[in-house]
């Protein structure tokens, strides 16, 4: 029994001694260190696309490396290579990187290992920094619910986005799209915050915002009827000879409720061109409808249908009245003298 206890005790001390020796020994680890550019003058910008990370080798005690590797696998920036651009100049430049660029804030005992037979460097192209307003391209689809309609084009705010970056990079940007999004079954006017898609932007271009606001005008679809709307015959013709039959009609307009509420009979103009009857060789035609709408109403989107009853108007000629015959004077018939007749 005593031998077993002694053996277990010896094993524990042996393992502890092994861990002690291992913990004091330095090991090396390779990983990808993010590149960070700092102290760049405000008047300059990076025009090239340098790598985001560099492959580096570090060394330190085993326990430090185990903790570092654990945090690194959890996507934490435990180490990085810092590039100081305070004294950089315009144009292409190559910057050598060494242990002075290496930082590991939470691991003071982790050291950078200089690569053998090679140099670490990064190539940069620096250009003048400018600011520019770039148009926003909406990539959004809005679908109204059944019985509703989209009464106007969606309005985006702002329509342009201010960006800053290298001159030759910004001149290549045509527009900035939004994320591709579909909004379905909308039954009321709303405002949406939509993210912008910056994947099209060159590296190191800084936008002033990451989202825009989009307003949509959704209206319930209804119909409204206007009775006794006059039809006007226009053109060069003898007004004493021709007229329209009928000269008033009913007009039914289908569209968004708010748009219909702003329309009265005075906003509807019905016209027929006199020459059309001769050109088309017919005696009845549908009138042309002109809606005089407030400027805030989108005619093409807010108005869906216009129906006229009756659909066609006939051109009639007035029948000339025949003059009454003149009265003839009475003719006296002489009567023979009865006495002479006898």
pLDDT by residue, tens only, the chain of 342 residues: 556 656 566 556 555 545 555 555 667 888 899 999 999 999 999 999 899 999 999 999 888 888 888 888 887 778 999 999 998 899 998 999 999 999 998 888 899 888 877 788 899 999 999 999 999 999 999 999 999 999 999 999 999 999 999 998 898 899 999 999 999 999 999 999 999 999 988 888 999 999 999 999 999 999 999 999 999 999 998 888 999 999 999 999 999 999 999 999 999 999 999 999 999 999 999 999 999 998 999 999 999 999 999 999 999 988 765 555 555 555 555 554 544 444
Pairing of strands 120-137, 160-166: antiparallel
pTM tops 0.75: no
Q: 51 — phi, psi (to 5°)? A: -65, 150
- Residue 169 in contact with residue 212, Cβ under 8 Å? no
C-alpha–C-alpha distance, residues 73 and 161, integer Å = 36
Angle at 215 between CA 253 and CA 180, to 5 degrees: 110
Considering only CA atoms, which of 155, 120, 161, 119 is closest in space to residue 140? Answer: 155
What is the predicted pLDDT for the residue at 13? 57
- Residue 34 in contact with residue 75, Cβ under 8 Å? no
C-alpha–C-alpha distance, residues 232 and 273, integer Å = 9
């Amino acid at each position: 029994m005593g031998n077993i206890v002694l053996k277990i005790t010896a094993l524990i001390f042996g393992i502890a001694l092994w861990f002690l020796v291992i913990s004091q020994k330095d090991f090396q680890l390779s990983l990808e260190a993010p590149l960070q550019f700092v102290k760049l003058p405000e008047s300059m910008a990076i025009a090239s696309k340098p790598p985001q990370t560099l492959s580096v080798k570090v060394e330190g005690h085993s326990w430090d490396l185990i903790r570092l590797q654990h945090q690194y696998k959890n996507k934490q920036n435990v180490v990085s290579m810092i590039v100081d651009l305070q004294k950089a100049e315009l144009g292409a430049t190559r910057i050598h990187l060494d242990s002075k660029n290496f930082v590991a804030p939470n691991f003071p005992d982790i050291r950078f290992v200089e690569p053998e037979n090679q140099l670490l460097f990064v190539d940069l192209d620096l250009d003048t920094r400018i600011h520019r307003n770039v148009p926003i391209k909406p990539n959004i689809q809005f679908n109204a619910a059944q019985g509703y309609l989209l009464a106007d084009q969606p309005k985006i705010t702002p329509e342009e986005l201010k960006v800053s970056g290298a001159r030759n990079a910004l001149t290549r940007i045509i527009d900035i799209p939004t994320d591709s999004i579909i909004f379905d079954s909308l039954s009321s006017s709303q405002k949406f915050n939509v993210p912008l898609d910056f994947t099209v932007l060159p590296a190191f271009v800084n936008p002033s915002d990451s989202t825009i606001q989009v307003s949509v005008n959704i209206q319930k679809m209804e119909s409204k009827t206007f009775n006794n709307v006059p039809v006007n015959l226009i053109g060069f013709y003898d007004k004493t000879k021709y007229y329209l039959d009928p000269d008033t009609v009913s007009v039914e307009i289908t569209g968004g409720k708010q748009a219909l509420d702003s329309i009265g009979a005075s906003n509807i103009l019905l016209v027929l061109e006199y020459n059309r009857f001769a050109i088309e060789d017919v005696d009845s035609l549908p009138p042309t409808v002109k809606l005089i709408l407030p400027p805030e109403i989108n005619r093409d989107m807010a108005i869906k249908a216009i129906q006229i009853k009756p659909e066609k108007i006939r051109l009639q000629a007035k029948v000339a009245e025949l003059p009454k015959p003149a009265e003839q004077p009475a003719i006296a018939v002489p009567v023979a003298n009865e006495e002479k007749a006898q």
